[in-house]
Amino acid sequence: MIQKHDESYSQYCNRIEKSLLKRKPIKLEGVEVISPEGGCKGAIYEILKLSYSSNTIYCHNSNTQCRRRRYRSQGDLFLIAKYYYPNITFQEVRSELFSLLENELISTIFCRDISKRVFYFRSYYHYATFHGDEESYDIKQERWEDEYGLFPHHLK
């Protein structure tokens, strides 16, 4: 949650990024290069598609961090993207997520197990519907909050 009155959205994202970078690096198992159309800009979409068939593993020991066919949090998506695109920022990942949501290419739910908003490739919809976890998402209503206390209007 943005706590300092004078802290901008960019500063807050930078603070979140620094915190996330203290975690162990992760990547998609068996994926050495991600080369989407649009380069880094399309990376998040590709990561979400690839995560359907790839486990997320820790880089230092190859242990599984998250099994395939699971949805990914913003933090995990940022750390995965950081492995493949070292210069990407948390703010860029958030921006890309909201762009993909607006264009209805991905979906999101709030995962009660980990108390985080998670994202998934649109074709996974059947899983969320089957499990009754689908939460309506309308970015234009601006009532959506994530685990960092941020809302869509922070992107404007």
Write the pLDDT tens digit of every residue in 79-96: 999 999 999 999 999 989
Write the pLDDT tens digit of every residue in 93-132: 998 998 888 888 888 887 888 888 888 887 644 444 444 4
The stretch 63-67 carries a mean pLDDT of: 96
Mean pLDDT over the full length of the chain: 81
Q: What would the two tokens of residue 95 be?
A: 């921006």
The stretch 43-64 carries a mean pLDDT of: 94
Q: Could you state, in order of their start, the residue ranges of all structural domains in the chain?
A: 9-155
pTM score, whole prediction: 0.82
CATH architecture under which domain 9-155 falls: Orthogonal Bundle (1.10)
